[in-house]
Each structure stands twice: as C-alpha cells, then as structure tokens.
C-alpha cells in the first residue's frame, strides 16, 4: 500500500519510498503495543468470567454435606472418569506444545514447520472436543437436577466453546499466512492466537483439578 501511494503521487525517489516504509513500520510497532494490551485485557476479562463460575461452584460444593451429592431416592452420583479425562487432557496439553513449536518455527522463518505444527494443533484441538462430546454422551448426570451436573456442564461447556473458537481462530491464521498477511517482523495475529491457545490450556488445568481430582 505504501509503494502504491508513493507511485500514485508520482514520487519515485528511493529515499521517499524507504521513508514511507519506515513510517509504516513505526506505526505498526506502536499499534502492536496497544493491540497486545487490548488482547491481554480481553484474556483478563475471560479469567474473571471463569473465576466467578469457579468460586460459585466451590461455594455450592462446600454447602452440601456429601460430594458427589445425593439425589432423589438416596442415590449418590458417581464421580467423573479420571482416566478418560486425563487422556483427553494430555491431548489438549499436547496441542499447547505443538502451538509453541509452531510459533517458534515462524520466528525462525521455518514456514513449513509453522504449517505442520499449526495443523497438528488444530487436529489435537478437534480431538479434545470429540473426547469432550463422547464424555458428555456417556455421563450418568445431566445439566438439570443436581448442582454437580449444572456446574460441570456449565464450566466445561464454556471451556469447550473457547476451544472451538480457538480452533476456528487457528484455521483463520493458517489461511492468512497462506495469503501472505504476516511477515517476519509483523505477525501480531499469530502471537495473539498462541496466547489464546495457551490460555485455554491453563483454564483446563483448573477445571481438571476441580472436577476430577478434588
């Protein structure tokens, strides 16, 4: 765009073109700091959202004498399947590792590595969602009828939605890099995608502890 503007104005001086690029680069780096701050504030707001639900779950859990709670008929609800959840967690945490390698590949100008690790991250993210769908289908509890079910489906469902958004986000980044949107020095979108995916991993650590280990 900078070169087109200079050419349209009839200025073909190399120094003018170089100065134009320098202005664009400076503006990009200044905006990058603001974009990064805005994105971090978005993640903080998401942390607050999850924290409110987690604190509500902890309060409700401590307000009943038995956990898992006893429902109508005197039957105690079963605990969640820790082994399956652990396997699904490894899938998600593995996607965090592949996303890290993807970002490192981009920083080292390894475009082939970037795409391979990005695709691996997307596949693992989809695998986690499939595992979560399988778990939902096999559980003996529902969203309605118990505090345990309502809390579990609300928190893990909200997290699953974030994973789905992350998968779509990464797919968009893949198409954008194919189209040449990002360069070696201008790749804030890729940084944002990486931060978001690591955020999803961290939230799952808390949820895994709350529902499967506690």
Please indicate, yes or no, if residue 32 is contained in any of the structural domains.
Answer: no
Task: Please report, for the domain that includes residue 107, its CATH number.
Answer: 1.20.120.80
pTM of the model: 0.84
Q: What's the domain count of the chain?
A: 1
The token duo for 17 is 């073109």
Please indicate, yes or no, if residue 30 is contained in any of the structural domains.
Answer: no
> How confident is the model over 122-175, as pLDDT tens digits?
999 999 999 999 999 988 777 766 788 889 999 999 999 999 999 999 999 999
Residues with Cβ within 8 Å of residue 79, at least 6 apart in sequence:
68, 212
Query: Which residue segment(s) compose the domain that 177 sits in?
Result: 39-213
For the chain, give the percent of residues with pLDDT over 70: 83
| Mean pLDDT on 5-28 | 49
Q: How confident is the model at residue 7 (pLDDT cuts 50, 70, 90)?
A: very low
Q: How confident is the model at residue 66 (pLDDT cuts 50, 70, 90)?
A: confident
Q: How confident is the model at residue 25 (pLDDT cuts 50, 70, 90)?
A: low
Task: Inform me whether the pLDDT recorded for 98 exceeds 80.
Answer: yes
> How confident is the model over 174-214, as pLDDT tens digits?
999 999 999 888 899 999 999 999 999 999 999 999 999 98
Other CB atoms within 10 Å distance of the CB of residue 169: 18
Please indicate, yes or no, if residue 25 is contained in any of the structural domains.
Answer: no
Please indicate, yes or no, if residue 156 is contained in any of the structural domains.
Answer: yes
Residues in the chain: 214
Residues with Cβ within 8 Å of residue 11, at least 6 apart in sequence:
17
Please indicate, yes or no, if residue 150 is contained in any of the structural domains.
Answer: yes
**Average pLDDT score, the chain:** 86
Please indicate, yes or no, if residue 177 is contained in any of the structural domains.
Answer: yes
Please indicate, yes or no, if residue 121 is contained in any of the structural domains.
Answer: yes
Please indicate, yes or no, if residue 155 is contained in any of the structural domains.
Answer: yes
Q: Which residue has the tokens 């309502």?
A: 150
61 or 128: which leads in pLDDT:
128
The set of long-range contacts for 173-176, using a CB threshold of 8 Å and a minimum separation of 24, is 173/118, 174/115, 174/118, 174/119, 174/122
């Amino acid at each position: 765009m900078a070169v087109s503007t200079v050419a349209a104005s009839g200025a073909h001086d190399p120094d003018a073109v170089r100065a134009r690029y320098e202005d664009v680069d400076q503006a990009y780096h200044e905006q990058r700091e603001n974009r990064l701050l805005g994105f971090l504030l978005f993640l903080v707001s998401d942390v607050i959202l999850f924290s409110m639900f987690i604190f509500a779950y902890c309060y409700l859990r401590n307000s009943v004498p038995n956990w898992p709670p006893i429902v109508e008929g005197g039957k105690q609800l079963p605990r969640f399947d820790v082994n399956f959840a652990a396997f699904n967690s490894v899938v998600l945490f593995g996607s965090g590792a592949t996303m890290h390698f993807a970002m490192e590949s981009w920083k080292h100008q390894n475009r082939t590595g970037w795409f391979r690790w990005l695709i691996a991250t997307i596949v693992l993210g989809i695998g986690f969602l499939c595992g979560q769908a399988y778990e939902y289908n096999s559980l003996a509890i529902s969203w309605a009828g118990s505090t345990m079910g309502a809390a579990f489906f609300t928190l893990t469902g909200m997290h699953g939605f974030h994973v789905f958004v992350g998968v779509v986000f990464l797919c968009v980044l893949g198409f954008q890099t194919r189209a040449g949107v990002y360069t070696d020095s201008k790749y804030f979108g890729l940084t944002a995608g990486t931060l978001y995916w690591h955020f999803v991993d961290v939230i799952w650590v808390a949820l895994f502890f709350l529902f499967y280990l506690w």
